[in-house]
Amino acid sequence: MKPAGPSLVTEKTVELKDAQLRTQAFGDPANPAVLLIMGVMSSMLWWPERFCEELAAQERYVIRYDQRDTGLSTNYPPGEPGYSFSDLCDDAIAVLDGHGIEVAHLVGMSMGGFIAQEAALRHPRRVRTLTLISSSPLGVDGLPSSTEAYEEHAAAAESIDWSDLEAIADFLRRDSAMLAGTRHPHDAEAVNVLIARDMERAPSFVSATNHFMLLSDDKGATLHASRLEVPVLAIHGTSDPLFPIEHGEACTHVVPNAQLHRIAGGGHEIHDRDIDEIVRVIADRAVS
């Protein structure tokens, strides 16, 4: 890999008919485009800046963005999302349109992986490759559920006052610790800074809880990963407590042109010490 260096960083708000999406791009727009799609309740800040910088240094044009109800993008009243899960998939394509990009490599983390898959299935001509980080193949049943410890932790969310920002922050701190792998020590201080930055930046951070309502819908019921025609790379930690490694392995069983890269001891996270490895395998796959 080429050493990472300073990248040109630009910000842009993409205007939709019913929403605005804040985006940030790293690198030269003449390079192959990589669109990053983050998971539930997570703004684009959860894609580490160093990750974006290093991927841009591999001669890629890297775009991250705030999905609806996160960051500086359009937010809706808590409990009243004015959009569907499929709208989030169309939003990914709208971000490409807003940057004048015809085709891109999509990289989805967790729920972002489901969005990326649906976007590729519904807009196949716009997607060159898919990378699914800590995600699961769309429409595949019978895979292992989360670990018992994580399910107990998640169940506690039902008792949280989701209108209380400090209560939400405390839950997110505990959630990040629960999602950590065994390969590296959990960096609680870095997570605290990120959560505080995310909350301070968002005009209505509580609105991000609307994502849970979308997940309870019949998401992508008629779509299946086996219909994906683009090359797929699954990057998955072997200690992921939310989507156990079998979810990543299932991609190679279901998707015709899929590969799996295991992060030994990795959790449901993009750990700073794993960024070099993750960037390398994405750059090797997203080549044109």
pLDDT at 219 over 60: no
Question: Could you write out the DSSP letters of every residue in 146-211?
Answer: --HHHHHHHHGGGGS-TT-HHHHHHHHHHHHHHH--SSS---HHHHHHHHHHHHHH-TTGGGGGHH
State how far the Cα of 117 lies from the Cα of 194, in Å rounded to an integer: 27
pLDDT recorded at residue 157 = 86
Section 247-255 average pLDDT: 96
pLDDT at 236 over 80: yes
Comparing 5-14, 48-57, 86-95, 234-243, the range with the smallest average pLDDT is: 5-14
Q: What is the pTM for the complete model shown?
A: 0.95
Residue 221's pLDDT band (boundaries 50, 70, 90)? low
The DSSP symbol for 116 reads H
pLDDT in tens, 124-136: 999 999 999 999 9
Count other C-beta atoms under 10 Å from residue 200's C-beta: 8
Look at residue 281 and give its three-state secondary structure: helix
What letter represents residue 256's amino acid? P
pLDDT at 7 over 80: no
Residue 82's pLDDT band (boundaries 50, 70, 90)? very high
pLDDT in tens, 34-73: 999 999 999 999 999 999 999 999 999 999 999 999 999 9
pLDDT at 85 over 80: yes
Residue 102 burial by CB count (10 A; 0-12/13-18/19+): exposed, middle or buried? exposed
What letter represents residue 109's amino acid? M
Q: 40: closest CA among 61, 69, 81?
A: 69
pLDDT recorded at residue 249 = 98
- Please tell me the class of the 9-285 domain: alpha beta
Q: Which helix (H) or strand (E) holds 247?
A: helix 245-254
pLDDT at 217 over 80: no
Q: Report the mean per-residue pLDDT for the chain.
A: 94
pLDDT in tens, 156-205: 888 999 889 999 999 999 999 999 999 999 999 999 999 999 999 999 99
State how far the Cα of 54 lies from the Cα of 44, in Å rounded to an integer: 16
Count other C-beta atoms under 10 Å from residue 99's C-beta: 19
